């Protein structure tokens, strides 16, 4: 199946169910919406109608919406995350609800006239209820009826989420099955549809989350039943009429339809990879490094072309800054592939040829897209050249062949040189770069720049600096609690903070159990409940080590570091080497909640948590 066939089938199906087909809205949200810089989900442009305004297309609409999510830009390049993606969606504005939405999802997925997927490979999650909102019995009932009509029995998983025999319905909590775009607005429980990607591996059995983690089960569609409007003060106000918002990813569905294992194997990436091969002389599969570079370049240039078509140009603020960051990241990875000549134009031409018939704005704006890309490419090349001159200067003045972390960091900060490029230049000369020292420098500066740039990425959110600071302190609490639960061998392997959430990577071979996660949450919330004070002291690395502080110990001998302590006297919860900043007392953090625990890379787990 081609992407074009998929989009057309989806729209035709919902047209046959009385929906009017509307075009994709711009990636730039309407002016009155300051909640995000870009359209991040299919429902985003439709929020006013989900809150009761009348849609000119009537009460049932369907579309394919282009979306951009830049939240976890560092994740792009793994086998799942993309910045640009397309969402197919059907909406009911106070019209049909769970019965029709679920029945139609099932029909579209399994009827041979439409996608013809095997119903026996289909599994669904539903909202299990939390707080004042009860378990979604209705969704369960409709699913059971729907499966029954297809001659199947669909039983419900217990709290252990174990799938065996006839179990097909897995009730999950707020983190998995309650949908809201950002922090306020229309929201509700949802039901997600998963497809077994490897039936040849035998009957599906095991814990649902493990099956998803291992990619045996792939999410393909999400039906959200919007019943509430969450207000800024955290209240859920029941909507006058409930709505349906569904989201089905084009890339993923295409992958499933064609039996591929990653979205990068689909025709939404392959032509770009072929072009990149032509330009670089490298093959996509030749090494993990090349794969990663291809993925990043393809995703970022694609996203950039769409952004420029919607009127964004590279700059140092707001959307323009996100665009510039994406382009420069793509160019850095192109450099790693050995590409030294202009390439963005050729890639963008490929993107326009792939998508231009559906998203006609790409064709209309072709000249502008190509010009803007080339202009930015030349600008960045100049920066890179200046950086190379600086590198030569540094290298020529060294008494030995060792580039310090300080110097590497300065190249990074002043010339945008990622460590890989500095290392590559060093390698060419037979020099070495001190990686650990670079990492320490980077970690020290990251908090500040994250806090400063946070405001740039998210319009409309106040106090992003404060939010980041709280989450930073919560990151320390997370690490301390993990060590208490899993043992002192646990160390931080990486961290990233946005105004909405913290992310912590740590060494641990196994998936954490629900009990372990609950215990981490409990310990952190208990500490917050005690409103422990936060203080810091400067000392040498050796002193910090002796005191039992955790953190990066690779600083130079005798160098002073800051050690942040949460707690005092007999009650020390956490002690960590860190540049700060942190809150003064942790009582203001509010309620700590782990949203996700997943694999990050071999032997490294990743936790995402929020403060509510």
Is residue 179 at the binding interface for ligand SER, with CB under 6 A as the rule?
Answer: yes
Is residue 224 at the binding interface for ligand SER, with CB under 6 A as the rule?
Answer: yes
Residue 62 CB, nearest approach to ligand SER (Å): 12
Stretch that binds ligand SER, among 35-43, 50-58, 148-156, 575-583 (CB under 6 A): 35-43
Q: Smaller CB distance to ligand SER: residue 139 or 334? A: 139
Residue 325 CB, nearest approach to ligand SER (Å): 23
Which residues are CB-contacts of 340 (< 8 A; sequence separation ≥ 6)? Answer: none
CA distance 539 to 524: 27
Residue 560 CB, nearest approach to ligand SER (Å): 47
Q: Is 184 exposed, middle or buried (0-12, 13-18, 19+ CB in 10 A)?
A: middle
Q: Smaller CB distance to ligand SER: residue 42 or 405? A: 42
CA distance 533 to 588: 11
CA distance 219 to 198: 14
β-strand pairing of 402-403 with 432-433: parallel
Nearest alpha-carbon partner for 599 in 480, 508, 501 = 508
Is residue 89 at the binding interface for ligand SER, with CB under 6 A as the rule?
Answer: yes
Decide: 27 and 68 in contact? Cβ < 8 Å: yes
Decide: 106 and 118 in contact? Cβ < 8 Å: no
- Cis, peptide link before residue 526, omega less than 30° from 0: no
Residue 180 CB, nearest approach to ligand SER (Å): 9
Is residue 43 at the binding interface for ligand SER, with CB under 6 A as the rule?
Answer: yes
Nearest residue (beta carbon) to ligand SER: 247
Q: Smaller CB distance to ligand SER: residue 246 or 280? A: 246
One of 222, 280, 495, 600 touching ligand SER (CB under 6 A): 222
Which residues are CB-contacts of 577 (< 8 A; sequence separation ≥ 6)? Answer: 541, 544, 549, 550, 551, 552, 553, 561, 562, 563, 564
Stretch that binds ligand SER, among 37-45, 96-104, 301-309, 384-392 (CB under 6 A): 37-45
Residue 40 CB, nearest approach to ligand SER (Å): 8
Decide: 503 and 476 in contact? Cβ < 8 Å: no
Is residue 586 at the binding interface for ligand SER, with CB under 6 A as the rule?
Answer: no
Is residue 42 at the binding interface for ligand SER, with CB under 6 A as the rule?
Answer: yes
CA distance 438 to 405: 4
Q: Smaller CB distance to ligand SER: residue 39 or 496? A: 39
Nearest alpha-carbon partner for 300 in 215, 245, 407, 376 = 376
Residues 233-272 that bind ligand SER (CB under 6 A): 245-247
CA distance 301 to 294: 11
Which residues are CB-contacts of 352 (< 8 A; sequence separation ≥ 6)? Answer: 305, 362, 363, 366, 369
Residues 189-218 that bind ligand SER (CB under 6 A): none
Q: Smaller CB distance to ligand SER: residue 65 or 565? A: 65
Is residue 434 at the binding interface for ligand SER, with CB under 6 A as the rule?
Answer: no
Residue 511 CB, nearest approach to ligand SER (Å): 24
Q: Smaller CB distance to ligand SER: residue 89 or 189? A: 89
Number of residues that bind ligand SER (CB under 6 A): 10
Nearest alpha-carbon partner for 216 in 126, 123, 295, 153 = 123
One of 41, 88, 336, 552 touching ligand SER (CB under 6 A): 41
Q: Smaller CB distance to ligand SER: residue 41 or 563? A: 41
Angle at 361 between CA 360 and CA 362, to 5 degrees: 85
CA distance 417 to 292: 18
Is residue 77 at the binding interface for ligand SER, with CB under 6 A as the rule?
Answer: no
Is residue 124 at the binding interface for ligand SER, with CB under 6 A as the rule?
Answer: no
Is residue 47 at the binding interface for ligand SER, with CB under 6 A as the rule?
Answer: no
Residues 155-174 that bind ligand SER (CB under 6 A): none
Distances (CA, A) of 87 to 11, 26, 110, 579: 12, 13, 19, 41
Residue 76 CB, nearest approach to ligand SER (Å): 18
Stretch that binds ligand SER, among 41-49, 261-269, 400-408, 412-420 (CB under 6 A): 41-49
Is residue 29 at the binding interface for ligand SER, with CB under 6 A as the rule?
Answer: no
Q: Residue numbers of the site for ligand SER (CB under 6 A)? A: 41-43, 89, 179, 222, 224, 245-247
């Amino acid at each position: 199946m081609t992407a074009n066939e998929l989009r057309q089938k989806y729209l035709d199906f919902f047209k046959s169910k009385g929906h009017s087909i509307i075009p994709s809205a711009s990636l730039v949200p309407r002016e009155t919406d300051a909640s995000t810089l870009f359209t991040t989900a299919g429902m985003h442009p439709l929020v006013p109608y989900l809150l009761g305004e009348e849609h000119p297309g009537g009460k049932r609409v369907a579309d394919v919406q282009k979306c951009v999510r830049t939240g976890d830009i560092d994740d792009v390049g793994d086998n799942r995350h993309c910045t640009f993606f397309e969402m197919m969606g059907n909406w009911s504005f106070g019209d049909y609800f769970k019965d029709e939405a679920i029945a139609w999802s099932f029909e579209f997925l399994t009827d041979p006239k439409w996608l013809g997927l095997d119903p026996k490979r289909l599994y669904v999650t539903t909202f299990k209820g939390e707080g004042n909102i009860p378990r979604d019995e209705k969704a369960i009932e409709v699913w059971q009826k729907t499966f029954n009509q297809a001659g199947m029995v669909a039983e419900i998983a217990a709290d252990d989420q174990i799938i065996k025999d006839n179990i097909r319905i897995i009730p999950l909590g707020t983190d998995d099955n309650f949908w809201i775009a950002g922090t306020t607005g229309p929201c509700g429980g949802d039901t997600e549809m998963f497809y077994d990607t490897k039936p040849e591996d035998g009957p599906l059995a095991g814990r649902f989350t493990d099956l998803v983690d291992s990619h045996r089960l792939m999410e393909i569609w999400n039906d959200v039943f919007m019943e509430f409007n969450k207000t800024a003060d955290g209240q859920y106000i029941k909507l006058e009429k409930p709505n349906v918002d569904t989201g089905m990813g084009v890339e993923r569905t295409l992958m499933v339809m064609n039996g591929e294992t990653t979205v990068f194997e689909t025709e939404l990436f392959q032509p770009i990879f072929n072009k990149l091969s032509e330009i670089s002389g490298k093959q996509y599969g030749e090494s993990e490094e090349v794969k990663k570079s291809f993925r990043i370049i393809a995703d970022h240039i694609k996203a950039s072309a769409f952004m420029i078509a919607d009127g964004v140009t590279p700059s140092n603020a707001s959307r323009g800054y996100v665009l510039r960051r994406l382009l420069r990241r793509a160019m850095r990875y192109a450099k790693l592939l050995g590409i030294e000549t202009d390439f963005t134009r050729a890639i963008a031409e490929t993107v326009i040829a792939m998508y231009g018939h559906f998203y006609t704005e790409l064709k209309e704006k072709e000249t502008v897209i190509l010009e803007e890309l080339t202009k930015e490419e030349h600008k960045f090349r100049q920066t890179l050249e200046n950086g190379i001159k600086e590198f030569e200067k540094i290298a020529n003045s060294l008494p030995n062949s060792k580039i310090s972390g300080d110097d590497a960091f300065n190249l990074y900060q002043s010339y945008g040189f990622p460590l890989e490029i500095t290392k590559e230049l060093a390698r060419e000369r037979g020099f070495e770069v001190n990686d650990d020292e670079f990492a320490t420098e980077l970690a020290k500066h990251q908090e500040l720049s994250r806090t400063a740039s946070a405001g740039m990425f998210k319009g409309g959110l106040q106090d992003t600096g404060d939010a980041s600071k709280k989450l930073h302190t919560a990151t320390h609490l997370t690490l301390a609690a993990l060590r208490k639960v899993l043992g002192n061998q646990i160390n931080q392997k990486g961290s990233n903070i946005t105004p909405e959430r913290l992310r912590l990577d740590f060494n641990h071979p196994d998936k954490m159990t629900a009990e372990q996660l609950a215990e981490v949450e409990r310990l952190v919330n208990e500490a917050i409940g005690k409103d422990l004070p936060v203080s810091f002291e400067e000392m040498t690395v050796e002193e910090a080590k002796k005191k039992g502080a955790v953190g990066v110990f690779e600083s130079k001998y005798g160098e002073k570091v800051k050690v942040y302590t949460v707690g005092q006297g007999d009650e020390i919860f956490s002690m960590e080497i860190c540049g700060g900043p942190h809150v003064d007392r942790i009582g203001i953090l509010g309620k700590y909640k782990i949203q996700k625990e997943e694999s990050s890379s071999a032997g490294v787990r990743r936790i995402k948590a929020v403060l509510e």
